[in-house]
Structure 1
């Protein structure tokens, strides 16, 4: 059973088969991969994709076979990729097909670096001997805002997430705040980052940062200070890392990481245990920080800084971006000043003004807490292909270079994006690991709050520049993969009826406004922030 007071695997229970398969695929990828995301869309489940990869003959990855002579499992995976491209709103092109075949060879090659071990050994590796919990997108604990990463055809959301600490921290606040900045901040930058975190946390907001020296550490410590002063009223903090959680650092921050967990926060990564936090992975990590937040503040940054990269992700994800200005003759402030000058950030001239950018409601908006989540199967029952081949890394050093490295590094040079086909506007077609989930929603007994789901659907419509009519919102509700529950889903018309009823109630209480046929969220005048 899951235990909300536990730090490690016991906090969520034994991962289900789909999550375990996603974890194994994460190792095969050696990083985020939009091509894998499209393949999962078409295949319907990670278990199916992993099974087909395991079924590919060992010799295939070293031979330059064309599709006609390729194994059946390769053909099935390519068909799944094409189906996923279509679902994702992309055209099937020769370039996309070639990119898929290159990626598949790399996935297969990495799968061959595995060893044969028993089921319990696989589980020990996947959970770092039980010290880490793991969730997939179909989990009730999954942060719904990560789904925004699939709105673009060249971005990839995480396959799964590893964590230490309290998983309920991921959804404890409907308006989390990310605070980022340079490692080498001066006293001004350190003070502002800490003060910002303290101010937002004391009002109940979750603070997200990267666990690094400088601005990140100041933001985390500011949150902890607010928790010690205001108790349970204050929001917790989440640190997102670029490598596996048994390679977190720097060592000088180890006391900070322990304090984050002790105060009800979480340490988070999309990378499997043993993955070294190489430089190329930090840019990808930044997309997770930006997507999990409702607003991002750059407290102090130079012109070339990872914090500027995070602000770029946030802008493309339609998050609110703020920057704290500083003296124009100080290089420490040049990045923030440039963001404001270029219109890429709102100038934040007072610490207290950050409250105007954040909503007041801190009820868990898109997940049940672990104590309410459906109990997971406690047997270490693995996907058949894992049981058959016991596929997982032979050593903890899961970051050894593969043939995919050069393409990944080239991908990061262009703002950490990978193009899988022609560029252009796309629609979110992620149906989650269960495949054809577009027309289903979870049972309300295990689902996120319906009002929060409706607000998320309106936000997704706005992100995709779709008029948020009632029908469009209902369609978006049906396509949001993060609403997939562990329980059996009811018919779509039942949920549609419940959603229409909830929309009517939200109009009556003033939460929503139907203006010219489009639903709009209503903010109180002193809370409205216009970009």
Structure 2
């Protein structure tokens, strides 16, 4: 990353220029770097896209990639004249905020798992060291139209998790989100709010006091769009991927059959993060989404703080992916494969000890469904037989003699 400020300005510009989750822009920045990619776009808007020059540097593009890039330029050209990163940074400074970019020691590397859809930067109001905060974090999400049961469970889970020094991540909305945030701050715990709009916009307005309290007790408001940006429907949907990537595990407390919380759960599953769901009355439509996640094997059942900690594994003890491997030799020796169920045994046999394997490939090799493979690798991690590495899973050699 350039150290003269041009990288920061370029990434601030990208965050205003494109909509969150724009994989075309993310790919272009990955190829050229934020500064050169922005210069390429500016030249393309003025003189037409230099596709040939791009291909000379990075190889030929497929026809589909050419079309996506052309459409992307058409979108970006409309906003480019209005982008003013220095104005946005002055606005942020007046709020007492900070801008984080990849390469900053405070940057949360967990977001890098989003690949081309990772945010270009993070606009933060409150605690800026998100790398340290999110190393010990659980996302707690659910419906806005929550029941008293759901709100109580969310409050109690967040209260218990922060009592153990963990950060609770959620979206600041009414219902389950607000209950989780309140549970976290009830004892002065730390909680992180991922916003769909700018960090200067309290949304919903009815939670403005809560958001101020969160900042006051050492939490943070975070957004991938600049101050002044409006929360839109598409940004709410994209915000869910950030919540999923921010938490070392995601817990859905209460969710209807189709809801934003379900989107967050599916994002977490795609990132190979553990997902938990709190069961509710079978007659309650407010819990239908949780029951669906459990039935489809995407989530495991959690009912209290201890079970959430079990879901998340050795959270906060360094890289979660390597935590199971760090257990003592004596502890490993006590685990024998004959304690594993048949599906977990097949999945363990399918894992390499050196090359990370994605869940879809594990399922194919083991002859099980993707849902079964996802559940099995989670159990294997908890038992110390597998760890997450990169975008996949590897087996851990354990002395069972």
Q: TM-score scaled by structure 2? A: 0.76
Task: Name the SS for the 2:129 alignment partner.
Answer: helix
CA distance in 1, matches of 2:228, 2:56: 33
Does structure 1 residue 261 correspond to structure 2 residue 215? yes
| Contact 1:162-1:272 at 8 Å conserved across structures | yes
CA distance in 1, matches of 2:202, 2:247: 21
CA distance in 1, matches of 2:314, 2:165: 8
Per-residue deviation, 1:120: 5.8
Q: Which residue of 2 aligns with 1:99?
A: 68
Aligned residues: 339
Does structure 1 residue 455 correspond to structure 2 residue 322? yes
Question: Residues 121 and 237 from structure 1, CA distance in 2 versus in 1: closer, same or farther, beyond 3 angstroms?
Answer: closer
Per-residue deviation, 1:242: 0.9
CA distance in 2, matches of 1:329, 1:129: 49
Question: Residues 166 and 300 from structure 1, CA distance in 2 versus in 1: closer, same or farther, beyond 3 angstroms?
Answer: same
Does structure 1 residue 31 correspond to structure 2 residue 4? no
- Greater displacement, 254-263 / 344-353: 344-353
Does structure 1 residue 520 correspond to structure 2 residue 387? no
Question: Residues 466 and 25 from structure 1, CA distance in 2 versus in 1: closer, same or farther, beyond 3 angstroms?
Answer: farther
CA distance in 2, matches of 1:167, 1:297: 24
**CA RMSD between the two structures:** 3.1
| Contact 1:143-1:171 at 8 Å conserved across structures | yes
| Contact 1:169-1:265 at 8 Å conserved across structures | no
Q: Which residue of 2 aligns with 1:312?
A: 266
Q: Which residue of 2 aligns with 1:131?
A: 96
CA distance in 1, matches of 2:112, 2:121: 12
Q: Which residue of 2 aligns with 1:41?
A: 30
Per-residue deviation, 1:108: 2.5
Question: Residues 360 and 300 from structure 1, CA distance in 2 versus in 1: closer, same or farther, beyond 3 angstroms?
Answer: same
Per-residue deviation, 1:513: 9.2
Q: Which residue of 2 aligns with 1:346?
A: 300
CA distance in 2, matches of 1:28, 1:199: 40
- Greater displacement, 340-349 / 299-308: 340-349
CA distance in 2, matches of 1:162, 1:122: 10
Task: Name the SS for the 1:245 alignment partner.
Answer: coil
Does structure 1 residue 271 correspond to structure 2 residue 237? no
CA offset digits 1:265-305 (Å, max 9, x no partner): 11101111221110111111000110111111110111121
Q: Which residue of 1 aligns with 2:108?
A: 143
CA distance in 1, matches of 2:204, 2:19: 22
Question: Residues 93 and 209 from structure 1, CA distance in 2 versus in 1: closer, same or farther, beyond 3 angstroms?
Answer: same
Question: Residues 140 and 468 from structure 1, CA distance in 2 versus in 1: closer, same or farther, beyond 3 angstroms?
Answer: farther
CA distance in 1, matches of 2:14, 2:135: 30
Q: Compare relative contact order (CA 8 Å, sep 6+) and give the higher one, 1 or 2.
A: 1
Q: Which residue of 2 aligns with 1:182?
A: 143
Q: Which residue of 2 aligns with 1:213?
A: 174
Per-residue deviation, 1:30: 3.0
CA distance in 1, matches of 2:111, 2:244: 9
Q: Which residue of 2 aligns with 1:53?
A: 41
CA distance in 2, matches of 1:521, 1:249: 49
Question: Residues 145 and 159 from structure 1, CA distance in 2 versus in 1: closer, same or farther, beyond 3 angstroms?
Answer: same
Question: Residues 195 and 103 from structure 1, CA distance in 2 versus in 1: closer, same or farther, beyond 3 angstroms?
Answer: same
| Contact 2:134-2:246 at 8 Å conserved across structures | no
CA distance in 2, matches of 1:255, 1:466: 49
CA distance in 1, matches of 2:352, 2:292: 33
> Unaligned 5+ residue runs, structure 1?
1-13, 61-69, 228-234, 366-451, 474-510, 523-531
Does structure 1 residue 166 correspond to structure 2 residue 127? yes
CA distance in 2, matches of 1:179, 1:71: 44
CA offset digits 1:96-121 (Å, max 9, x no partner): 11111111232223213357xxx964
| Contact 2:138-2:169 at 8 Å conserved across structures | yes
| Contact 1:185-1:300 at 8 Å conserved across structures | yes
CA distance in 2, matches of 1:146, 1:521: 29
Per-residue deviation, 1:316: 0.9
Higher share of residues assigned helix? 2
Per-residue deviation, 1:137: 1.2
CA distance in 2, matches of 1:218, 1:79: 54
Question: Residues 57 and 268 from structure 1, CA distance in 2 versus in 1: closer, same or farther, beyond 3 angstroms?
Answer: closer
CA distance in 2, matches of 1:521, 1:173: 29
| Contact 2:9-2:86 at 8 Å conserved across structures | no
CA distance in 1, matches of 2:37, 2:122: 19
